[in-house]
Amino acid sequence: MSGFFNSCQNQMKYNEEDESQKGINKATKGGIVYGEYLQLDKVLNAQVLQSQQRGDKIHDEHLFIVTHQAYELWFKQILWELDSVRDLFIKKHVRDERNMLKVVSRIHRITMIFKLLVEQFAVLETMTALDFFDFREYLSPASGFQSLQFRLLEAKIGVADHLRVPYNRRHYRDNFHGQESETLLSSEQEPTLLQLVEKWLERTPGLENDGFNFWGKLQANIEEGLKMEKHKLEKMEDSEVKEDLLAELNKQTEVFTALFDPKRHEHLLSKGERRLSYKALQGALMINFYREEPRFQVPFQLLTALMEIDTLMTKWRYNHVCMVHRMIGSKAGTGGSSGYHYLRSTVSDRYKVFVDLFNLATFLVPRSWVPKLNPSIHKFPYMAEYYDSSYNSCSSEDSD
Amino acid sequence: MSGFFNSCQNQMKYNEEDESQKGINKATKGGIVYGEYLQLDKVLNAQVLQSQQRGDKIHDEHLFIVTHQAYELWFKQILWELDSVRDLFIKKHVRDERNMLKVVSRIHRITMIFKLLVEQFAVLETMTALDFFDFREYLSPASGFQSLQFRLLEAKIGVADHLRVPYNRRHYRDNFHGQESETLLSSEQEPTLLQLVEKWLERTPGLENDGFNFWGKLQANIEEGLKMEKHKLEKMEDSEVKEDLLAELNKQTEVFTALFDPKRHEHLLSKGERRLSYKALQGALMINFYREEPRFQVPFQLLTALMEIDTLMTKWRYNHVCMVHRMIGSKAGTGGSSGYHYLRSTVSDRYKVFVDLFNLATFLVPRSWVPKLNPSIHKFPYMAEYYDSSYNSCSSEDSD
Amino acid sequence: MSGFFNSCQNQMKYNEEDESQKGINKATKGGIVYGEYLQLDKVLNAQVLQSQQRGDKIHDEHLFIVTHQAYELWFKQILWELDSVRDLFIKKHVRDERNMLKVVSRIHRITMIFKLLVEQFAVLETMTALDFFDFREYLSPASGFQSLQFRLLEAKIGVADHLRVPYNRRHYRDNFHGQESETLLSSEQEPTLLQLVEKWLERTPGLENDGFNFWGKLQANIEEGLKMEKHKLEKMEDSEVKEDLLAELNKQTEVFTALFDPKRHEHLLSKGERRLSYKALQGALMINFYREEPRFQVPFQLLTALMEIDTLMTKWRYNHVCMVHRMIGSKAGTGGSSGYHYLRSTVSDRYKVFVDLFNLATFLVPRSWVPKLNPSIHKFPYMAEYYDSSYNSCSSEDSD
Amino acid sequence: MSGFFNSCQNQMKYNEEDESQKGINKATKGGIVYGEYLQLDKVLNAQVLQSQQRGDKIHDEHLFIVTHQAYELWFKQILWELDSVRDLFIKKHVRDERNMLKVVSRIHRITMIFKLLVEQFAVLETMTALDFFDFREYLSPASGFQSLQFRLLEAKIGVADHLRVPYNRRHYRDNFHGQESETLLSSEQEPTLLQLVEKWLERTPGLENDGFNFWGKLQANIEEGLKMEKHKLEKMEDSEVKEDLLAELNKQTEVFTALFDPKRHEHLLSKGERRLSYKALQGALMINFYREEPRFQVPFQLLTALMEIDTLMTKWRYNHVCMVHRMIGSKAGTGGSSGYHYLRSTVSDRYKVFVDLFNLATFLVPRSWVPKLNPSIHKFPYMAEYYDSSYNSCSSEDSD
Of A324-333, B344-353, D375-384, which gets the smallest average pLDDT? D375-384
Pairwise CB contact (< 8 Å): D142 & A33: yes
Mean pLDDT rounded to a whole number for chain D: 82
More confident residue, D69 or B341: D69
First to last CA, chain C: 23
Q: Is residue A225 part of a domain?
A: no
C-alpha–C-alpha distance, residues B31 and B166, integer Å: 51
Whose CA is closest to A357, among A348, A349, A347, A345?
A349
Q: Is B167 helix (H, G, I), strand (E, B) or coil?
A: strand
SS3 category, A38: coil
Q: Which of A178-192, B309-323, C125-139, C165-179 has the lowest mean pLDDT?
A: C165-179
Q: Choose among B72, B8, D101, D265: nearest CA to C292.
A: D101
- The predicted complex's ipTM stands at 0.86
pLDDT tens for B25-50 read 333 445 688 999 999 999 999 999 99
Chain D closest CA to B287's CA: distance in Å?
11
Q: What integer is the mean pLDDT of D185-189?
A: 87
CB contact under 8 A, B140 and C28: yes
Minimal C-alpha gap between B363 and chain D (Å):
9
Least confident of A200-204, B64-68, C382-386: C382-386
Measured in angstroms, the CA of A175 and the nearest CA of chain C are apart by 19
Nearest to C308 by CA among D395, A122, A394: A122
Of residues C331 and A15, more confidently modeled: C331
Among D187, D215, D368, residue whose Cα is nearest residue D285: D215
Q: Provide the pLDDT for residue D191.
A: 95
pLDDT at residue C11 is higher than 80: no
Residues of C in contact with B37 (CB under 8 A): 50, 65, 139, 142
**Which chains border A (3 or more CB–CB pairs < 8 Å)?**
B, C, D
Spatial CA neighbour of C124 closest among C81, C74, C61: C61
D378 three-class SS: helix
Contact list, C294 vs chain D (CB under 8 Å): 97-98, 100, 294, 298, 382, 384
* Phi, psi for residue D261 in degrees, rounded to 5: -105, 105
As a whole number, mean pLDDT of residues B197-203 equals: 94
**DSSP calls for A175-229:** G--HHHHHHHHHHHHSPPHHHHHHHHHHT-TT--TTTT-HHHHHHHHHHHHHHHH
Interface of B with A in 248-287 (CB under 8 A): 248-249, 251-252
* Distances, alpha carbon A140 to alpha carbons B27, D37, D123, in Å: 63, 10, 33
Domains in chain D: how many in total? 1
Which chain B residues have a beta carbon less than 8 Å from that of D347?
A: 318
The verdict on a CB contact (< 8 Å) between A72 and D148 is no
State CA C274 to chain mean position distance.
Answer: 16
Q: What is the mean pLDDT of each run of 10 residues along chain A (400 residues)?
A: 29 32 38 89 96 94 97 98 95 71 96 96 93 88 82 93 69 80 88 96 91 94 95 92 90 93 95 94 96 92 96 91 83 46 73 92 90 65 42 37
Q: Which of A135-139, C343-347, D194-198, D388-392 has the lowest mean pLDDT?
A: D388-392
Of A367-376, B24-33, B197-206, D368-377, where does mean pLDDT reach its minimum?
B24-33
Q: Which D positions 1-20 lie with beta carbon below 8 A of chain A?
A: 1-3, 5-6, 9-10, 13-14
- Contacts of D101 by beta carbon, 8 Å cutoff, 6+ apart: C291, C292, C297, C300, D298
Identity of the residue in A3, A46, A328 whose CB atom sits nearest the CB atom of D39 = A46
Residues in chain D within 8 Å Cβ distance of A141: 2, 28-29, 31-33
For residue D38, give the nearest of A32, A69, A134 by CB distance: A69
**C172 contact A CB<8A:** no
CB environment B82-112: b (16+ within 10 A), e (fewer) = bbbbbebbeeebbebbbbbbbbbbbbbbbbb
User: How many residues are present in chain B?
Assistant: 400
The verdict on residue C268 lying in a domain is: yes
CB atoms within 10 A of CB D320: 20
- pLDDT at res. D86: 96
Integer CA distances (angstroms), B132 to B145, C1, C73, in order: 18, 10, 20
Q: Measured between CB atoms, does D386 come within 8 Å of chain B? A: no
pLDDT, mean of residues D314-327 = 88
The chain-wide mean pLDDT, for chain B, equals 82
What DSSP designation does C165 have? P
Instruction: Report d(CA D215, CA D238) in Å as an integer.
Output: 36
Q: What is the DSSP string of B265-281?
A: HHHHHHHTS--S-HHHH
Handedness of CA A298, A302, A307, A313 (dihedral sign): positive
Question: pLDDT (tens digit, 9 = 90+) per residue, D273-291?
Answer: 899 999 999 999 999 999 9
Of B302, B382, B292, the closest CA to residue B98 belongs to B382
Q: What average pLDDT does range B62-78 have in this prediction?
A: 97
Nearest CA distance, B105 vs chain D (angstrom): 17
The share of chain D scoring above pLDDT 90, in percent, equals: 54
Measured between beta carbons, the chain B residues lying within 8 angstroms of D119 are none
Instruction: Give the three-class secondary structure for D126.
Output: coil
Residue A218: inside a domain:
no
- Angstrom distances, CA of residue A147 to CA of A76, A112, A184, A313, D55: 11, 21, 11, 15, 32
Compare all CA atoms of chain B with the CA of C7 and give the residue at the minimum distance: B137
Above 80 in pLDDT, residue B122?
yes
Pure H helices in C164-277: 178-189, 193-202, 214-235, 240-259, 262-271
- Residues in C closer than 8 angstroms to B65, CB to CB, are 37-38
Which residues in chain D have their CB less than 8 angstroms from residue C9's CB?
Answer: 366
D54 touches chain A (CB under 8 A): yes
- pLDDT at residue D21 above 70? no
Is B349 in contact with D330 (Cβ distance < 8 A)?
A: yes
Best probe of the A interface among B101, B382, B383, by most A CBs < 10 A, is: B101
Question: Which chain C residues touch A325 with a CB distance below 8 Å?
Answer: 311, 358
Q: Decide if B334 touches C, using CB distance below 8 A.
A: no
Which chain B residues are Cβ-neighbours of A379 within 8 angstroms?
382, 384-385, 388
> C170 phi and psi, to 5 degrees?
-115, 155
Q: What pLDDT was estimated at residue D53?
A: 93
The pLDDT of residue B145: 72
Q: Is residue C39 part of a domain?
A: no
With CB atoms and an 8 Å threshold, state whether C333 touches A133: no
Q: Which chain C residues are closer than 8 Å to B13 by Cβ?
A: 56
Q: In the structure, what pLDDT confidence band is assigned to residue D188 with cuts at 50, 70 and 90? A: confident
State phi, psi for C32 to the nearest 5 degrees. Answer: -85, 140
Query: Are the CB atoms for C2 and B139 separated by under 8 Å?
Result: yes
* Chain D residues inside the 8 Å CB shell of C248: 3-4
Place D325 in a pLDDT band, splitting at 50, 70 and 90. Answer: confident
Residues 6+ apart with CB under 8 A from D232: C8, C11, C16
Residue D400 to residue A59, Cβ atoms within 8 A: yes
pLDDT of residue D45: 96
CATH classification at residue A324: 1.20.58.480
Terminus-to-terminus CA distance in chain D, angstroms? 23
Task: Specify the range with the lowest mean pLDDT, choosing from A281-295, B341-355, D78-92.
Answer: B341-355
Pairs across B and D, CB distance < 8 A: 100
Q: In a 3-state reduction of DSSP, which class is residue B170?
A: strand
Considering only CB atoms, A98 lies closest to which of B11, B25, B293, namely B293
Residues 6+ apart with CB under 8 A from D31: A140, A141, A142
Q: What are the tens digits of pLDDT across the range D228-274?
A: 999 999 999 999 889 988 998 999 999 999 999 999 999 999 988 89
| Contact state of B329 with D258 under an 8 Å Cβ cutoff | no
Asked if A84 has any chain D CB less than 8 Å from its own CB, the reply is: yes
Q: Which of A75-89, C175-189, D37-51 has the lowest mean pLDDT?
A: C175-189
Rounded average pLDDT over C260-265: 96
- Buried b / exposed e along A162-193 (16+ C-beta atoms within 10 A): ebbeebeeeebbebbeeebeebbeebeeeebb
Sign of CA dihedral A94, A100, A104, A109: negative
pLDDT in tens, B175-193: 788 888 889 888 888 999 9
Q: What's the pLDDT band for D390 if we cut at 50, 70, 90?
A: very low
| Residue C367, pLDDT score | 86
* pLDDT at B108 (0 to 100): 97
Chain D: list its partners (3+ Cβ pairs within 8 Å): A, B, C
Mean pLDDT of C366-374: 86
Distance of alpha carbon D399 from alpha carbon A60, whole angstroms:
10
Phi/psi zone of residue A206: left (φ > 0), alpha (ψ -120 to 50 degrees), beta? left
- Report A:181-200 residues touching B (Cβ under 8 A): none
Q: At what angle do helices D129-139 and D61-90 cross, to 10 degrees?
A: 70
**Contact between residue B201 and residue B283 where contact means Cβ atoms under 8 Å apart:** yes
Residue A152 inside a domain? The answer is: yes
List the single best residue of C93, C227, C245, C395 to mutate versus D (max D Cβ within 10 A). C245
pLDDT of residue C98: 83
Closest in D249, D294, D374 to C4, CB measured: D249
pLDDT in tens, C345-360: 777 777 889 999 999 9
Report which residue type is found at C218.
L
At position B327, the amino acid (one-letter code) is M
Nearest CB to B273; choose among D291, D314, D332: D332
Contact criterion met (CB below 8 Å) for B191 and B197: no
| Alpha-carbon torsion, ordered A68, A72, A75, A76, to 10 deg | -170
CB contact under 8 A, B239 and A22: yes
C129 CB near a chain B CB, below 8 Å? no
- Nearest-by-CA chain D residue for A7: D137
Residues in chain C: 400
Residue B288's pLDDT is: 95
Residue D146 within a domain: yes
* D397 has a chain A CB within 8 A of its CB: no
Residue C69 scores a pLDDT above 50: yes
Q: What is the pLDDT of residue A166?
A: 67
Q: Is residue C170's pLDDT more than 70? A: no
Q: What is the mean pLDDT of residues D34-51?
A: 95
Range in C30-39, C171-180, D27-36, D237-246 with the lowest mean pLDDT: D27-36
Q: What mean pLDDT do residues B196-223 have? A: 93
* Domain membership flag for residue D177: yes
How many residues does this entry show for chain A?
A: 400
Instruction: Please classify residue C83 by burial: count the beta carbons closer than 10 Å to its beta carbon, then call 0-12 exposed, 13-18 middle and 19+ buried.
Output: middle
Please report, rounded to a whole number, the percentage of residues in chain B having pLDDT higher than 90: 54
From A11, A366, A372, residue closest to B232, measured CB to CB: A11
Shortest Cα–Cα distance, C294 to chain D (Å): 6
Residues of B in contact with C10 (CB under 8 A): 54, 137
Q: For residues A193 and D384, which has the higher predicted lDDT (pLDDT)?
A: A193
pLDDT of A20 = 30
| CA atoms of C360 and C386, how far apart (whole Å) | 31
Tell me if chain B has a CB within 8 Å of the CB of C330.
no
Look at residue A321 in the predicted model and tell me its pLDDT.
85
Residue D65 has pLDDT above 60, yes or no: yes
Q: Is residue A59 part of a domain?
A: yes
3-state secondary structure of A170: strand
d(CA A117, CA A113): 6
Which domain range does residue B156 map to? 44-212+253-369
d(CA C91, CA A312): 44
Q: How far apart are CA B66 and CA B69, in angstroms?
A: 5
What angle in degrees, to the nearest 10, is found between the helix axes of A294-328 and A193-202?
160
